[in-house]
Amino acid sequence: MRAVVIGASGHIGTYLVPRLVDAGHDVVAVSRGKREPYTPHGAWGRVTTVVADREAEEAEGTFGRRIAELEADVVVDLICFTEASARHLAGALAGRVRQFLHCGTIWVHGPSTRVPTTEDRPKRPIGEYGRQKAAIEAYLLDLAARTGFPATVVHPGHITGPGWIPVNPAGNLDPAVFQALADGAEVRLPNLGMETVQHVHADDVARLFVDALNNPAAARGESFHSVAVTALTLRGYAEAVAGWFGREARLSYLPWEQWRETVSERDARVTHDHIAHSPHCSMEKAGRLLGHHPRHTSLEAISEAVDWLFRAGTLSGPR
């Protein structure tokens, strides 16, 4: 089939595009052309590349038509962030594609209540990003139910892998937290360190998209989580990372209002977003309908990313 991947050079596309090429599909990679994939792969030499500025073209009302003119059987949209954007593209593709796969987020659920959270739980998003993604999901699945538009929504957790910094045991993106754990230095955690994060390897997300593509009857009109099977508490996460370096984690705890004063405003904001959600989502539905099972645990996925940080010189050997 001819597959168009929008946002092809990002975290998920880095793994998804080579998988589609290796499966024999004719792949068109759409991106702004601003960066290379995080990991090189020979499959990129067999990909048709299209450079597009989505935001500008949507403002002109031309982006959807441009994608439709690529005459794809399947369109995978990895970078849609507003309902208006989803409506524009779906309207242009109606009746022209066999499958339309959209990348959402587990943030559509808002804070975890009953865990593990399943896809059918009421959506209570608490931030603009989650609210927009929830609106996109509602629109696409309603469109699928009413008109047969072949939409599927995949909701990743905290995507990680070699090439970028994973969400750390303090719930933010400061690599110094990993360095401190490697060095045996004290790390402060907010509250009691019992809030949760739920990572997923970018390749496992790519694999779920492929599994949805290979099971169209089961995937159409459905949403699926894409996370590692279990979540991690911040405390358990920190203890595991320290153990990688033969250390026992030296952890201390502060109430949120005190803890936030010990980090930058940006780090505090990112941490609050993660601990306010404290996700723990189920993978049962993807296994049951698509036969999909993540290959990486949270810690295995994070370990690959941390190893890359050492190789890249972002982190140094334990002191």
Backbone angles phi, psi at 299, to 5 degrees: -70, -35
Specify the pLDDT at position 319: 58
Specify the pLDDT at position 67: 98
- Tokens 């496992």 belong to 204
Residue 75 contacts residue 4 (beta carbons within 8 Å): yes
* Gyration radius from the chain CA atoms: 20
Percent of the chain scoring above 70 in pLDDT: 99
Nearest to 191 by CA among 211, 213, 171: 171
Backbone angles phi, psi at 197, to 5 degrees: -130, 155
Distances (CA, A) of 295 to 59, 202, 226, 233, 254: 40, 11, 11, 20, 35
Cross-strand partners of 159? 200
Residue 251 three-state SS: strand
Digit-coded pLDDT (tens) for 154-199: 999 999 999 999 999 999 999 999 999 999 999 999 999 999 999 9
> Distance between CA atoms of 64 and 244, rounded to whole angstroms?
47
In which band, very low, low, confident or very high, does the pLDDT at 317 lie, cut at 50, 70 and 90? Answer: confident
What does the pLDDT average to over 205-223? 98
> Distance between CA atoms of 197 and 284, rounded to whole angstroms?
18
Specify the pLDDT at position 215: 98
Per-chain mean pLDDT for the chain: 97
What does the pLDDT average to over 120-125? 96
Q: Does residue 89 have a pLDDT over 80?
A: yes
Nearest to 14 by CA among 168, 166, 194, 161: 161
Specify the pLDDT at position 38: 87
> 2-159+199-226 has which fold?
Rossmann fold (3.40.50)
Q: Does residue 203 have a pLDDT over 80?
A: yes
Q: Does residue 34 have a pLDDT over 80?
A: no
In which band, very low, low, confident or very high, does the pLDDT at 309 lie, cut at 50, 70 and 90? Answer: very high
> Distance between CA atoms of 63 and 277, rounded to whole angstroms?
33
Digit-coded pLDDT (tens) for 59-72: 999 999 999 999 99
pTM of the shown model: 0.97
> Distance between CA atoms of 21 and 11, rounded to whole angstroms?
17
Domain ranges for the chain, please list them: 2-159+199-226, 164-197+232-279+297-311
